[in-house]
Structure formats: C-alpha cells, structure tokens
Amino acid sequence: MSTAHIDTFAARNLPPREQWPEFLFDSPELQFPEQLNCATELLDRWVERGQGDRLCVQGAGVRWSYADLQAQSNRIARVLVEDMGLVPGNRVLLRGANSPMLAACWFGVVKAGGIAVGSMPLLRAKELTQIVVKAEITHALCDARLAEELALARPNCPTLTQVLHFHSADADALDARAAAKPAAFENVRTAKDDTCIIAFTSGTTGQPKGTMHFHRDVMAACACWPRHVLRPTRDDVFIGSPPLAFTFGLGGLLLFPLSVGASTVLLEKASPDALPAAIAQYRATTLFTAPTSYRAMAGQLAGHDLSSLRQCVSAGEALPAATRALWKQASGIEMIDGIGSTELLHIFISHDEAHAKPGATGTAVPGYVACVLDDAGRPLPRGQVGRLAVKGPTGCRYLADERQRNYVQDGWNLTGDAYLLDDDGYFVYQARTDDMIVSGGYNIAGPEVESTLLLHPKVAECGVIGVADAERGQIVKAFVVPKPGIEANDALARELQDYVKQSIAPYKYPRAVEFRSSLPRTETGKLQRFKLRQAT
C-alpha cells in the first residue's frame, strides 16, 4: 500500500535507503499490515472491543476513560483538519508539560495523519526555531502558559502558520474549538511506513537531530521491551517524570500503558519531591524516571504510602549500583534498568527484576541483537571495551542529516556508547565513547569513578570528566555535591580521593576535586559533561 501523506516532506527527507540500518522483523508479533495507524491500534481498538469505560489517563484534575480520550483526540483531530487546514504528512509542534490534554493532542495529530513533533517545555525561542525550521513545521498546539517563547520564535519560523493554545479559557483556544466539534473522527488510513513522529535528540552540542519514526516503529516498540521485559497488566497504573517530548516518556507514560489497556498518570510536575505523594495519591504501580531522580527520592519516601508500587524503571543514564541499592533499601523494589535512545525509539538492552545485575544494563531485548565492536567494526571478545552496536525492528533515520553516517554503519546502529560484554553475557556500560578519559596511558570511564564516589556517605551527586594535563594528557576530575550539612573542604577532597583509591584501581582516582552545590543536567536528567568541561 502506498502512503497516505499528501504533504510528502517526510518521505523526501528520509536518509537514502543504503544508509538505513538493517531492520529485523523475525518474530510473529512484528508482522504489521501495510495499512497501519498506530493511534487506531493503541486507542480506538479498546473502545471497539467494548473496553471504552476503562480508566485511561489521569492528571491535572482530569480522569478520562479510553472513550473519553478517544472523543477528545477526535475533536482535536477535527480542529486540526477542519479549522487549521492540516493535511496528512504536515508536521505539528506539540508544546506543554505532561498532561492528559497533551496526550489527546498527540493522538489528535496521529489520527489525522500528521507528524507529531514534541518539544521539551524548557526550550527557548532559539531552540524552538531550529526545530521548526528543520522539520518545516506548519502547525503548533501549545499550552497557553508556554505561549510566550513560541511567540518569540515565530518571526523566524515562516512555515509555522497555524498556532492554537490549550489549557486556556479563551473563546478561540483549542479547548473551546474542540468542545464545539462532534466526537467522531475517521482516522487517516496511513501506511505502516508513513512517518508519525519526528523526535529531536536532546543533543548536547550543535544542531539538534530529528529522528523519524513510522507507525510500524511505534507498534514495534510496544511489542518488544514492554511485552518481554516489563510485562505490565491492564490493571497497572503508570506514572513518572520524563516528558512526552522525550521518547522515554512517550513510550513509558503513553504508548506502553495504552498498548495493554492499562492507565497512565500524566503529571505537570514530577520532580523527586512531588513524585512520592503522586504515587500514593494515584495508587501507581509502575514508575519511570531517571537514576538521579531515584537517588533524590530515596531520602523522601517517609510519610508516603507507596504500597501500590510494583515496578520501577530507570533509563536515560547509567544506573549506578549505589543507586540501585539505595532505592531497594528505601522502597523494597529491585529496579529495571534499560538503555534506549531517541534514534531507536525506546529500550533495547534491559533485564527484568529477576535478572538484575548491579552495575550492568542487561541483555538484548527480544527482537533486538547487540554486540560490542572494535574501531574497525569487528566483534570484540568478552571483557573488552568497544562500541555498542544494535539492530532490531526500530532504528535510526535522521531527518536530512549527514550524521546518519556516524550513527549507522554496516547496518548497525552505533549509539555512541562504550560497553563491554561480561562473563555472564551482560552488557556493562562504560561511558559515552567521547567521554572516555585517557590519563597516563590508561583508559578510564568517568561513570565508574562516579559510581564509586556515590557509594561514599558524604556524596549527594557527582560528575567526573577528563581535563587536559601537560604531563598525563588528561587527568580525572570530579565535581562533587556534598550531602546537606557536609562541609566542602580540602580534607573532604582528600577523603574522597583516598576512598576511590581503596575501592577501584588507584590510577582512576580523581586528581582534582571541585565542590559544587548542584550539577548541570538536561531536562531528561542527563549530566551535561560538556558544561563541566567548559568550566575548567
């Protein structure tokens, strides 16, 4: 079957076929029909099967069933098509903190055959402009509270002609327009390989990269990690912090719960001080957040009833063994770690609770294959550090970007991570390939030093980088946030240096230690090492 896109921008801007990764669709659950709209599969199907009354999404004072979310997204699809002139294939910017309304907007766009482009709530006009220009975005649905920054971007965004605001009482807002529409909408009959999302990477430097994912990619992500590792039930209540603009959040807090008929809680504020109360309030069972958030929350659980909580998923950054232990002690729950990427849409190496191994990420998720390659692209024996390479039913397709050649080589997706395969066949994260520190001829992975420092009782947070050194090429430098009430002084620095020397190979100890009150992080919880480097 051919495309349903009338606006063919996405198809025209895919990388050339020979630069695509190899895709694997071996298992029966990865056989998709030619005509596929993932919104139909994830949302309308439940209503069709008589499950429309089941609880679907909560948050921001809202409690919607599957039928409610379907009606609301149908109305939004009508506004997009009838009032805003959307044609299939148009790109629609979505802007807002997580909320049921933002989820309805996502489904509205996908039902209408549009391409949803999420944006992190904290983005500024300059960054918004880059995204709008790169993806030639024509429409935007924007939370009224974030209107200002988008307005500032608009003079530089000539393609963006249609903007509506939501969470607004305005007569001309999306809310009122949607309310005036009938609740029925016939989803556009898209092809399985029509693009339905363009997800921009939370790249640390340079121009943001847009990753293009098809309707079939969304369904493939739902069929792999959730089905084989998380194994949720329809009674589960999902909750967490990652924004829907980040594919970790889109999958974990929207696509995956809906794929099994479960429900999700979309919180506007899901910081570590707000999450425990929300888990108790909604009786949530399944938590998604980043390692630093688990670490910060562990000390704040007292007084909250977390008895509903069953599963805790960590991704976005390596999960230090200290954080896994701390969370288990605080909550009684063995965390599920998983590495995913925007390019591969979601998690491809992980483990379930029964197969957790502290310090290791896990094994390839069924549907994916992974290996560790040397610089020439040859597989390395166990125990040797090299480049992580992955293949599966999803993979990297950058929107018109030369960097496709870096991420995809010989059909493999190269994530930019240095990994080793241990004796048990588990993948063990070392560092981002660019972040490996070479000091006095030794290769040192900053995250290993960080994990060690995090075991010290006086350390709240830390980040380790290499800084230039005339004698050794680079030296290891640690930025440390002490726990509250701990004085940062030379004696503490020496204590931490000695602690590292006694815990791991002494040459890895931080020759420089700098104390900070906080560390620079992205909205997705990743340490911004480049900012630490700029500071030295």
φ, ψ (nearest 5 deg) of residue 176? -70, -40
Query: Which is closer to ligand 3UK, CB of 201 or CB of 300?
Result: 201
Shortest Cβ 31–ligand 3UK spacing (Å): 24
- Chain centre to alpha carbon of residue 26: 26
Binding to ligand 3UK by residue 289, rule CB under 6 A? no
Query: Which is closer to ligand 3UK, CB of 92 or CB of 315?
Result: 315
- Chain centre to alpha carbon of residue 383: 28
Residue identified by tokens 């990743």 is 526
Widest CA span of the chain, in angstroms?
72
Query: Which is closer to ligand 3UK, CB of 106 or CB of 499?
Result: 106
Instruction: Say how far apart CA 83 and CA 155 lie, in whole Å.
Output: 22
The two three-digit tokens of residue 111, written as one number: 């039902």
> Cβ(199)–Cβ(219) under 8 Å?
no
Binding to ligand 3UK by residue 331, rule CB under 6 A? no
Shortest Cβ 42–ligand 3UK spacing (Å): 17
Binding to ligand 3UK by residue 337, rule CB under 6 A? yes
Containing 407, the helix (H) or strand (E) segment is helix 404-407
Q: CA dihedral in degrees (54, 306, 295, 456; nearest 10)?
A: -160
Instruction: Say how far apart CA 207 and CA 118 lie, in whole Å.
Output: 16
Which positions from 166 through 205 interact with ligand 3UK, judged by CB under 6 A? 201-202
Shortest Cβ 249–ligand 3UK spacing (Å): 8
The DSSP bridge partners found for residue 200 are 210
Neighbours of 223 (CB within 10 A): 21
Neighbours of 50 (CB within 10 A): 8
Binding to ligand 3UK by residue 338, rule CB under 6 A? yes
Q: Which of 90, 190, 247, 293 binds ligand 3UK (CB under 6 A)?
A: 247
Query: Which is closer to ligand 3UK, CB of 342 or CB of 439?
Result: 342
Shortest Cβ 434–ligand 3UK spacing (Å): 10
Q: Angle CA(227)–CA(232)–CA(238) in degrees, nearest 5?
A: 125
Q: What is the DSSP code (8-state) at residue 310?
A: -
Which positions from 353 through 392 interact with ligand 3UK, judged by CB under 6 A? 361
Amino acid at 208: P
Which positions from 400 through 459 interact with ligand 3UK, judged by CB under 6 A? 415-417, 429, 432
Query: Which is closer to ligand 3UK, CB of 240 or CB of 338?
Result: 338
Shortest Cβ 35–ligand 3UK spacing (Å): 27
Alpha helices in 87-134 (DSSP H): 100-111, 125-134
Query: Which is closer to ligand 3UK, CB of 89 or CB of 121?
Result: 121
Residue identified by tokens 């929350």 is 297
Instruction: Say how far apart CA 399 and CA 13 lie, in whole Å.
Output: 6
Binding to ligand 3UK by residue 256, rule CB under 6 A? no
Q: Which of 220, 267, 284, 347 binds ligand 3UK (CB under 6 A)?
A: 347
Size of the site for ligand 3UK (CB under 6 A): 24
Amino acid at 183: A
Shortest Cβ 130–ligand 3UK spacing (Å): 17
Shortest Cβ 15–ligand 3UK spacing (Å): 17
Query: Which is closer to ligand 3UK, CB of 216 or CB of 346?
Result: 346
Q: Which of 340, 359, 386, 393 binds ligand 3UK (CB under 6 A)?
A: 340
Shortest Cβ 106–ligand 3UK spacing (Å): 16
The two three-digit tokens of residue 316, written as one number: 């976005």
Query: Which is closer to ligand 3UK, CB of 187 or CB of 241?
Result: 241
Instruction: Report the half-sphere exposure of 273 (CA within 13 A, side-chain side).
Output: 0
Q: Which of 316, 359, 386, 482 binds ligand 3UK (CB under 6 A)?
A: 316
Shortest Cβ 496–ligand 3UK spacing (Å): 23
Tell me the residue nearest to ligand 3UK as measured from the CB: 340
Amino acid at 199: A
Binding to ligand 3UK by residue 339, rule CB under 6 A? yes
Instruction: Say how far apart CA 323 and CA 293 lie, in whole Å.
Output: 10
Query: Which is closer to ligand 3UK, CB of 429 or CB of 479?
Result: 429
Query: Which is closer to ligand 3UK, CB of 15 or CB of 447?
Result: 447
Instruction: Say how far apart CA 494 and CA 514 lie, in whole Å.
Output: 11
Query: Which is closer to ligand 3UK, CB of 129 or CB of 361?
Result: 361
The two three-digit tokens of residue 213, written as one number: 């994912």
Binding to ligand 3UK by residue 68, rule CB under 6 A? no
User: Could you tell me the sign of the dihedral formed by the alpha carbons of 57, 394, 448, 426, in that order?
Assistant: positive
Q: Please report, as ranges, the residues that interact with ligand 3UK according to CB under 6 A.
A: 201-202, 247-248, 315-319, 337-342, 346-347, 361, 415-417, 429, 432, 524
